[in-house]
Amino acid sequence: MKVTVFGTGYVGLVQGTVLADVGHDVTCIDIDAAKVSRLQAGDIPIHEPGLAPLVKDNQAAGRLRFSTDAAAGVAHGEVIFLAVGTPPDEDGSADLKHVLAVARTIAQHMDGPRTLVNKSTVPVGTADRVAAAVREVLQARGVQHAFDVVSNPEFLKEGAAVADCKRPDRIVIGTESPAAEARLRELYAPFNRNHDKIVVMDIRSAELTKYAANAMLATKISFMNEIANLAERLGADVEAVRRGIGSDPRIGYHFIYPGLGYGGSCFPKDVKALIHTARSADFSPELMLAVERRNEAQRRVLFERINAYYGGNLKGKVVALWGLAFKPNTDDMREAPSRTLMEALWEAGALVQAHDPVAMDEARRIYGERPDFMLAATPNAALEGADCLAIVTEWQTFRVPDFEQMAQLLKDRMVFDGRNLYDPALVTRHGLGYSSIGRAATKPV
């Protein structure tokens, strides 16, 4: 099928590339000429395992191309994806200006029937607004072309997006049009061979499904962090509690790891947008408000522990930081707990020596050069001259460190672990102090 994707951000780039990989003819459109030039040259602007070779292979095969020519994109695609950003507005609502602008652009260049697919995360009712925008432009042009607007939310995990796209758990299609449903079933047939993963529903339910999924996962994270805070006060070990409740198949082990709260480009934004949507419908979303409050508090836990350990005097202290990305296998630092921690440390007069396997360029882009921020080439280089260590991202490379060397390099031999990577007994056996989430802390010996 001939497919056009408007937007070469995280979702659009991955979705377009994977559709091309199964044989569809895909054109990706973006208004950012510099970004399109990079993509045409095979330079991928995001870190996502497996994506770069997939882009290169499908470009070479002629199934995937990148352009700024919107008119050519509309002419090309019988199915057109809207995969542009929906950043949070000041009131927490999703800003739809980019989505509606693309809808008007498509309508301006339509020369026949089209199926428009909302892939962006958008509030309930957006499909109606997209349809109205298209009708308005067509009417102004004095032409009539049949079109459908379909809701097809994405469920990609950063760091595993290519795999998620190739082997989706479910494919949600929101439409009342049998023709549009048939078209999307044909499009996704290569991903639907093992068993039927397609879930068809009305458009508004599909739009809500995306927010409900992310809100449920955010709720699990905030719940576990609340239990972790309680466990510390009761003398319990939250890791034992986690294993105990995770063994219940009704609960499961996913998203019940205590830590520093959720971050990234989706959960914070989508929880805020769902709260705004609820309030707009004259409904008070008490649970979502509590989830957001717990997350905001949890993001400051590591700083509060470091600050308390040093008696509220961090001026001149050097803190080694392992992990900058909001999660492993990505360079995304949007809403990352590392940012909350570093900014609080800097405000208190501390210096930060940070290492991350892939996100250091992104950190440099965000913060630039500053005297209280050093990026270290290796994890151990970050420890040199540092008073203590803070672990913020659970990268695989941090899981089996040399504790003896750590104890020699850290002046105060203190580790603040925001991801519960280590067995406390193992850490303390090397003379290190250890403070983690939901478990008893120990002092250096």
Q: Compute the distance between CA of residue 55 and CA of residue 173 in angstroms, rounded to an integer.
A: 26
Q: Give bridge partners of residue 148 from the DSSP assignment.
A: 115
Options 28, 165, 266, 388, the catalytic residue: 266
Burial of 426 (0-12, 13-18, 19+ CB in 10 A): exposed
H helices present in 299-417, as ranges: 301-309, 337-347, 360-367, 379-383, 403-409
* CA distance from start to end of the chain: 66
Q: Compute the distance between CA of residue 81 and CA of residue 122 in angstroms, rounded to an integer.
A: 13
What are the φ/ψ torsions at residue 52 (nearest 5 degrees)?
A: -60, -50
Closest Cα partner for 433 from 413, 410, 405, 418?
Answer: 413
CA distances from 362 to 34, 117, 215, 384, 390 (A): 18, 31, 27, 23, 19
For residue 127, count other CB atoms closer than 10 A to its CB: 23
Judge whether 266 counts as a catalytic residue: yes
Please enumerate in sequence order all residues whose Cβ is within 8 A of that of 139, keeping only pairs 6 or more positions apart, or say none. Answer: none
Q: Which residues are catalytic?
A: 266
